[in-house]
């Protein structure tokens, strides 16, 4: 049987530089292809060509006779006023489904996707639920192949797991553009990377993402050996050419032609394999204050979405009883389903809104830097003005940097500086926002879905920088790899008003499953008393309500503040000693000073953690 899709020698170009040239690939029955590549490589464009939404500049796309392809673009938009039911009914009609079968199909598809209210307005849904609706709409035609462009963007963690289950159990083939490494690992039977660093413009490997990484490393090592061998040959030929050989004989002419060909081949290979990386380095304020933000019995409400008369709308409680202390160096992963209050909690941290109950205390002159998932950029501005609103100079860590150099650090060319922001891809816009945030020293970094649209190399650099960032971090992300690697603690919301603190994402998942099992067992929502089974300052293993301080703990608590002050002074002195020029130039003294600094830091962290634990028990 012929392939479902067969693209041969596809080329596409925007402006002077081609996105990709002479790309060939096929999609067979049962293929589950993960399509990856750096931002700007042309992944979305290639997917649109495969879907028939865009014509290539050259090359051919053959589609198997009567094969149905369903395409889900990055942005899921629906006309205002249409309900979920109306969107799916229109899709069923367009797919020529028998009228007598439509209602059954509609309920089956919407039920599997988790839609409880078919009369909800599609355009008013959250980004994650619009994405679910777009995927469900595409499934109506029972496609032979699904083409999905960044489907995990805007999906919450539960939505990603729903999509993973859908793809792994589906009978159709799938081509999915994604940078979510866990998602690629679990859903892909082969990986294609679109990247001009490869001789054919892409590398295709059978197997999951881990297998691809191994094969890619082998390929690049082989290519490096070939490049080094060619470089040595060219060096020999250049020396021969410098001696001024006379091209009088056929043999001499052939060698000169061969030498020139090798020089050109090496230049092409050098240009193709030169890989630039993004220079991410968030600037921390390095303030000595340890307690940056303290939540005490905080509750948060939002207006109810119920169809109640105007003026009678009752607020809906997102969460309550939140007790949490954010200290310097803490890296918090904030997780929960869409609508559970993650972004609202970030707004509370920023002071944009006030809690319904409880109090939030912030350190004096606290500097918060916020990365919004909304990608708030003025599209009419040029890249130059977006990066440097006034003039061409930028102040970074006390020194003046030219905007062209700053743009180059984030892989933008000088030609792009005068182009409007609206011409940038999603990943490029994310890099612009990161470039702007890096100019602001921060006590606390608040990152709301920073991974959307970023390619894998940029994600890896972002991870390393966040791990090294000395300030506090609060991270909202659906990228489980990033979450597990960076977060030292997880603050979880369940969407039903409960919250808890956990060691990692897996522990939060176990808690959610336990709650759902309890709810199914009782046949009703959890009682108010069960909401306190996980304290926001204790792990699930410590559940069961707060324990009062024992006699010895009370004595420890009374003296701990003095111990913390002494520890702070010791840590400050250790920092000063390391920074002393006389010690910094003496290897033995520097080694001793660094060991002392490390010990002081560990003691300081342990004391603050103990202080927070005793404080929670005493309240």
From CA 124, how far away is CA 429, in angstroms rounded? Answer: 24
Give the pLDDT of residue 94. Answer: 92
Q: What is the pLDDT of residues 204-235, one digit of tens each?
A: 999 999 899 899 888 888 888 888 887 888 77
Give the pLDDT of residue 591. Answer: 76
Give the pLDDT of residue 535. Answer: 41
Residue in 42, 133, 13 with CA at minimum distance from that of residue 25 = 42
Pairing state between β 291-303 and 17-27: unpaired
Q: What are phi and psi of 451, to 5 degrees?
A: -85, -15
Q: What is the pLDDT of residues 274-331, one digit of tens each?
A: 666 666 666 666 666 778 999 999 999 877 654 444 455 567 888 889 998 998 888 9
Cα–chain center distance at 334: 13
Give the pLDDT of residue 527. Answer: 35
Pairing state between β 5-14 and 69-72: unpaired
From CA 367, how far away is CA 369, in angstroms rounded? Answer: 7
Contact 334, 475 (CB under 8 A): yes
Residue 163 in tokens = 């999509």
Sheet holding 32-36, edge to edge: 69-72, 145-149, 173-177, 32-36, 190-194, 202-206
Q: What is the pLDDT of residues 112-167, one digit of tens each?
A: 898 988 999 999 887 888 999 999 999 999 999 999 999 998 888 888 989 999 99
Residue 303 in tokens = 């207006």
Q: What is the pLDDT of residues 325-360, one digit of tens each?
A: 998 888 999 998 877 888 889 999 999 899 999 999
From CA 114, how far away is CA 132, in angstroms rounded? Answer: 9
pTM for the whole thing? 0.68
Contact 117, 84 (CB under 8 A): yes
Between 456 and 247, whose confidence is greater? Answer: 456
pLDDT at 532 exceeding the cut of 60: no
Q: What is the mean pLDDT of the chain?
A: 82
Residue 477 in tokens = 């992300």
Distances (CA, A) of 582 to 32, 265, 574, 587: 60, 52, 14, 10
Pairing state between β 5-14 and 58-63: antiparallel
From CA 504, how far away is CA 331, in angstroms rounded? Answer: 11
From CA 71, how far away is CA 49, in angstroms rounded? Answer: 10
**Dihedral sign from CA coordinates of 98, 101, 103, 107:** negative
Q: At what angle do helices 157-169 and 127-139 cross, to 10 degrees?
A: 10
What is the enclosing helix (H) or strand (E) of 602?
Answer: helix 587-618
* 3-class secondary-structure state, position 323: strand
Nearest-5° Cα angle at 298, 158 to 331: 55
Q: What is the pLDDT of residues 234-259, one digit of tens each?
A: 778 777 677 766 655 666 677 667 77
Q: Which residue has the tokens 């603690």?
A: 489
How many Cβ atoms sit within 10 Å of the Cβ of residue 495?
A: 16
Residue in 163, 172, 186, 118 with CA at minimum distance from that of residue 141 = 172
Contact 175, 50 (CB under 8 A): yes
Residue 318 in tokens = 């997102």
From CA 436, how far away is CA 280, in angstroms rounded? Answer: 11
Where are the extended beta strands (E) located within 121-201?
145-149, 173-177, 190-194
- If you ran DSSP here, which 8-state letter would residue 352 be given? S
Q: Which of 88-102, 167-181, 423-437, 522-536 is the least confident region?
A: 522-536
326 CB-side CA count, 13 A:
30
From CA 25, how far away is CA 340, in angstroms rounded? Answer: 42
Segment 267-275 mean pLDDT: 67
Q: What is the pLDDT of residues 98-114, one digit of tens each?
A: 988 999 999 999 998 98
Segment 403-409 mean pLDDT: 86
pLDDT at 60 exceeding the cut of 90: yes
420 burial (CB, 10 Å; 0-12 / 13-18 / 19+) is middle
Give the pLDDT of residue 142. Answer: 92
Residue 151 in tokens = 């489907």
From CA 193, how far away is CA 191, in angstroms rounded? Answer: 7
Between 299 and 505, whose confidence is greater? Answer: 299
Contact 25, 204 (CB under 8 A): yes
């Amino acid at each position: 049987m012929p392939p479902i899709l067969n693209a041969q020698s596809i080329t596409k170009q925007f402006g002077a530089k081609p996105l990709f040239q002479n790309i060939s690939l096929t999609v067979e029955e049962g293929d589950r292809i993960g399509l990856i590549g750096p931002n700007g490589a042309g992944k979305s464009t290639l997917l649109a060509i495969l879907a028939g939404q865009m014509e290539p500049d050259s090359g051919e796309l053959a589609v198997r006779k009567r094969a149905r392809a369903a395409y889900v673009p990055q942005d899921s938009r629906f006309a205002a006023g249409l309900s979920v039911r109306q969107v799916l009914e229109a899709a069923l009609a367009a797919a020529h489904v028998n009228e007598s079968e439509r209602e059954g199909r509609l309920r089956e598809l919407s039920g599997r996707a988790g839609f409880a209210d078919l009369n909800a307005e599609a355009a008013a849904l959250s980004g994650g639920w619009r994405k679910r609706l777009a995927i469900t709409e595409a499934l109506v035609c029972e496609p032979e192949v699904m083409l999905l462009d960044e489907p995990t963007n805007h999906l919450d963690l539960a939505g990603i797991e729903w999509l993973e289950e859908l793809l792994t159990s589906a009978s159709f083939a799938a081509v999915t553009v994604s940078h979510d490494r866990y998602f690629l690992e679990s859903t892909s039977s082969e990986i294609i990377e679109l990247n001009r660093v490869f001789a054919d413009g892409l590398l295709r490997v059978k197997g999951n993402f881990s297998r691809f990484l191994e094969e890619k490393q082998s390929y690049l090592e082989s290519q490096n050996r070939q490049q080094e061998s060619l470089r040595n040959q060219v060096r020999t030929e250049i020396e021969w050419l410098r001696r001024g050989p006379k091209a009088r004989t056929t043999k001499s002419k052939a060698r000169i032609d061969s030498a020139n060909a090798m020089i050109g081949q090496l230049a092409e290979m050098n240009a193709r394999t030169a890989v630039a990386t993004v220079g991410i380095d968030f600037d921390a304020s390095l303030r000595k204050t340890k307690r940056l933000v303290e939540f005490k019995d905080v509750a948060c409400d939002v207006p109810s979405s119920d169809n109640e008369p105007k003026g009678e709308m009752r607020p809906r409680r997102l969460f309550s009883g939140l007790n949490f202390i954010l200290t310097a160096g803490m890296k918090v992963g904030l997780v929960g389903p869409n609508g559970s209050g993650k972004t609202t909690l970030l707004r509370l941290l920023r002071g944009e809104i006030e809690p319904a109950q409880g109090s939030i205390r912030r350190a004096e002159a606290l500097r918060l830097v916020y990365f919004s998932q909304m990608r708030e950029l003025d599209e009419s501005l040029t890249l130059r003005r977006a990066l440097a609103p006034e003039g061409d100079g930028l102040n970074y860590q006390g020194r003046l940097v030219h905007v062209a150099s700053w743009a180059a650090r984030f892989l933008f060319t000088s030609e792009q500086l005068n182009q409007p922001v609206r011409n940038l891809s999603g990943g490029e816009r994310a890099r612009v926002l990161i470039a702007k945030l890096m100019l602001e020293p921060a006590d606390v970094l608040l990152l709301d879905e920073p991974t959307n649209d970023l390619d894998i190399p940029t994600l890896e650099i972002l991870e390393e920088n966040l791990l090294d960032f000395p300030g506090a971090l609060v991270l909202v992300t659906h990228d489980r790899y990033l979450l597990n690697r960076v977060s030292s603690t997880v603050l979880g919301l369940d969407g039903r008003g409960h919250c808890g603190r956990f060691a990692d994402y897996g522990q939060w998942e176990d808690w959610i499953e336990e709650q759902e099992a309890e709810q199914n067992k009782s046949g009703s929502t959890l009682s108010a008393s069960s909401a306190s089974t996980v304290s926001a300052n204790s792990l699930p293993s410590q559940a069961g309500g707060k324990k009062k301080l024992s006699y010895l703990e009370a004595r420890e608590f009374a003296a701990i503040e003095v111990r913390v002050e002494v520890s702070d002074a010791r840590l400050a002195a250790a920092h000063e000693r390391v920074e002393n020029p006389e010690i910094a130039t003496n290897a033995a003294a520097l080694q001793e000073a660094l060991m002392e600094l490390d010990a002081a830091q560990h003691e300081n962290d342990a004391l603050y953690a103990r202080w927070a634990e005793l404080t929670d028990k005493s309240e």
